[in-house]
Amino acid sequence: MTTIDRESSQRSRGLSFQDLLDDDTHPVPPVLRWQSPIDSGPTSVPADRYTSREFHDLEVAKVWRKVWQMACREEDIPVVGDHLNYEIAGISILVVRSAPDVITAFHNVCLHRGRLLKESTCRDEELRCAFHGFAWELDGALKHVPSHWDFPQVTSNWCLPQVQVGLWRGFVFINMDPDAGPLAEHLGDLSAHFSQWPLEQRYKQAHVAKVLRCNWKVAQEAFMEAYHVVATHPQLLPGIGDSNSQYDVFGNFSRAMTPNGTPSPHLQWEPTEQEMLDAMLDRNLDDPLVFVVPEGKTAREVVGALRRKSIRPVVGDAAADALSDAELCDNFYYTLFPNFHPWGAYNRIVYRFRPYGNRHEMSIMECMYLSPFEGERPPSAPIHFLGPDDDWNTAPELGLLARVFNQDVFNLPKVQAGLESGVATGSLQNVTFANYQETKLRHFHELLQRWIDAP
Ligand code: FES
Ligand SMILES: [Fe+2]
């Protein structure tokens, strides 16, 4: 880890994220003090990696079929016999709670004549195909073949083909490559970053998936930087230090830390603490004032205190008192290659992006809220699917974020259209990344290239 030389690294004017932490009313955890700026990675990549079918096919062969990827949460399949399908680029993986403490994953295909073995989230005592009734035990052992006398070639060792499973903080990961190293190797130090934010002690309060008319990387990259805030979400500027964000890279993951309750350096005027608070809470001009910043207090202190109070009954006094204002106010968005985006602290967000079916020009964006709970674990929210033309506001479970997502996804089909036009005419050969503020994109593309180039 190194310390940023702010002069030589050409950072934005205004406070750095580290300066802001110095004024926190509570001690900040060491993880927020770590700095690891990118020291390599491309500042431009070919535009056709977002538009080309050939590149998509390479990603399927070299990435999706080989990399660890988040399939679901453990609590999505809490009881023995619960199962769901994880779909990635036309490949279907069946994830099963095969014993109280065992999760197993299989290629979701019947070994008779190839029907998808299971097509929906369900609870079953066995894995029986609906076509002719071949059945397997929950651990993949062959259980029953109707008219078995007619299949002398089908012996008891006709087990369902398994894929690797790994668990991390309540998430279930799968890997189709039998030669892949363990999940822990892929994660690297990610656990150290989340040691004080135990995601395994959360439940899935909301899960919304929306189909988008753009390549999955176009969608994902719109959520990996705060550089777009000034143009896409101008209403947030009084309360967000967009270009004061800190960006770091660590092995297979990157993170951004974007402060809230501090004005954007892009603003040409100085907002009051009340205006910062209103922007943080996305208050419309004609909404009544709900929270007032008292004289001598800052917006960060007020929001920190409000959220600390609301979380206290859930996490307990000791944990609530230990939380810094930063952990209660700011955005800590991590990206584990290739497509898993858990947010740190108590922001609750987890994103996942992937191709829609096996399409290279369409994708699925998912937003989950992982929330702490008191007492018994509440049931995991089922996926609420939105089509490409559905407004995010039809998912009220996302609260204030739905409005912000509408602003984000408004751009995305137009990015795809522009890329396709530019690539077709040769007028756009490369897309260009900011040196610092698009650190996470540069890091992602460095890793992607490494995976594509691997033998
Ligand atoms: S295809 Fe599954 S039992 Fe025939
Ligand atoms: Fe955004």
Per-residue pLDDT for 250 more than 50?
yes
Name the closest ligand to CA 234: 2
Above 50 in pLDDT, residue 189? yes
CA atoms within 13 A on the CB side of 216: 27
**Nearest C-alpha to atom 3 of ligand 1 is from which residue?**
132
Prediction pTM value: 0.95
Mutation probe of ligand 1 site: the residue of 108, 134, 150, 160 with most atoms within 8 A of C-beta: 134
- Predicted confidence (pLDDT) per residue in 356-369, tens digit: 999 999 999 999 99
What's the CA gap between 133 and 110, in Å, rounded?
10
CA-closest residue to ligand 1 atom 4: 132
Domain extents in the chain: 17-62+189-453, 69-179
DSSP 353-401: EEESTT-SS-EEEEEEEEEE-SSSPPPPPPPEEE-TT--GGG-GGGTTH
pLDDT average, residue stretch 93-112: 98
pLDDT over threshold 50, residue 385: yes
CATH architecture, domain 17-62+189-453: Alpha-Beta Complex (3.90)
- Output the pLDDT for position 285: 66
Structure confidence by residue, pLDDT tens digits, 309-329: 999 998 899 999 999 999 999
Give the Å distance between the CA of 131 and the centre of ligand 1.
Answer: 5
Class assignment of domain 69-179?
mainly beta
pLDDT in tens, 117-145: 999 999 999 999 999 999 999 999 999 99
Check whether 167 has a pLDDT greater than 90: yes
**CB–CB of 445/221 below 8 Å?**
no
Tell me the C-alpha distance between 292 and 452, whole Å: 53
Ligand in closest contact with the CA of 351: 2
Q: What is the pLDDT of residue 347?
A: 86
* pLDDT given for residue 13 in this prediction: 76
Bridge partners (DSSP) listed for residue 174? 69, 165
Residue 229, ligand 1, Cβ within 6 A = no
Q: What is the pLDDT of residues 45-95, one digit of tens each?
A: 999 999 999 999 999 999 999 999 999 999 999 999 999 999 999 999 999
